[in-house]
Amino acid sequence: MHIKIITLLLFLLLPGACGSLSSSEEHQQPVEASAILKLADKAMQAGDWALAANLYQKAAMEQENSSQAFTGLAQSLAQIGKWPEAAEAYEKAIVLEPKNNDLKTSLANLYILLLKPERAEKHLLAALNQKPSPKLFNSYGITQDLLSRQKEAQQAYYSGLVLDSDDLSLRTNLGLSLAFAGQKKEAVKILQKVTSHPGAKIKHRQNLALAYILSGQDKLAEKMLRMDFNDGQAAKLLEFYRGIAKLKQPGEKIAALIRGIPEKQ
């Protein structure tokens, strides 16, 4: 079981497969590279991430100026959990498309998962300067939480909510940020509203359970978790959340959530 604070982050990190080449782009690609890219796109669309990564890698070697090859390589590597390699591929794609906000966002989210908030912050600020969006503010808020800058994080979440007041990721991460900053009553109130939303899922109830633990309401946390988990799973989560509550710095708590429950050796 792996718990993450970054609600919906993977949808940002792992966008859909690259579309097929446009006629103009295909004309610019060498014949062999173009053929490999088409095969890679098909593998991506079929969910064969390892094959797609292999093919995109070959295409990138054939055509070093192909942003599509590096973007596809990054996406497929991320899908199979090779995050450092995926980040490297995104960096190369951004060099080729420096104004592509989607690439910057995806790379930043990878750096968040790799617990490198300073690197994520750099790309998110560049993207926000180009075109602010709820997703960008959400990711930027997480970087600030990781750096134990809760005021800046909360301002980012509020800025995102100005653009989309119903965004559950922003509302959830705002609640957690407040909880880690010691504003527990307000945090619980926000997260309770999130869990009552028609679109609320298990992860949102898990976050409320964590907020209950942080505010010393262990019985409510246990009750919340038992809505979705059996006794053993609920006990494991309670132990995990209590361990997070003992950490001193907010950034350490956020990092622990991103890492999730450690696997026993």
List, for residues 56-104, the tens digit of each pLDDT value: 999 999 888 999 999 999 999 999 999 999 999 999 999 999 999 999 9
Say what the pTM is: 0.84
Give residue 106's Cα distance to chain centre: 8
Mean pLDDT of 41-45: 93
Mean pLDDT of 45-51: 94
Phi-psi region of 260 (alpha: psi -120 to 50; beta: other; left: phi over 0): left
Rounded Cα distance, 199 and 112, in Å: 25
Mean pLDDT of 236-257: 95
Any idea where the domains of the chain sit in the sequence? Answer: 174-265
Percent of the chain clearing pLDDT 90 (strictly above): 82
Give the confidence band of 198 by pLDDT, cuts at 50, 70, 90. very high
Mean pLDDT of 6-25: 39
Residue 19 has pLDDT above 50, yes or no: no
Give the confidence band of 32 by pLDDT, cuts at 50, 70, 90. confident
Q: What is the mean pLDDT of the chain?
A: 88
Residue 7 has pLDDT above 90, yes or no: no
Residue 12 has pLDDT above 70, yes or no: no
Query: How confident is the model at residue 124, as a pLDDT?
Result: 96
Query: How confident is the model at residue 29, as a pLDDT?
Result: 54
Query: How confident is the model at residue 246, as a pLDDT?
Result: 95
What is the phi/psi pair of residue 217, to 5°?
A: -105, 65
Show the 3-state SS of the chain: CCCCCCCCHHHHHCCCCCCCCCHHHHHHCCHHHHHHHHHHHHHHHCCCHHHHHHHHHHHHHHCCCCHHHHHHHHHHHHHCCCHHHHHHHHHHHHHHCCCCHHHHHHHHHHHHHCCCHHHHHHHHHHHHHHCCCHHHHHHHHHHHHHCCCHHHHHHHHHHHHHHCCCCHHHHHHHHHHHHHCCCHHHHHHHHHHHHCCCCCCHHHHHHHHHHHHHCCCHHHHHHHHCCCCCHHHHHHHHHHHHHHHHCCCHHHHHHHHHHCCCCCC
Query: How confident is the model at residue 178, as a pLDDT?
Result: 97
Mean pLDDT of 232-252: 95
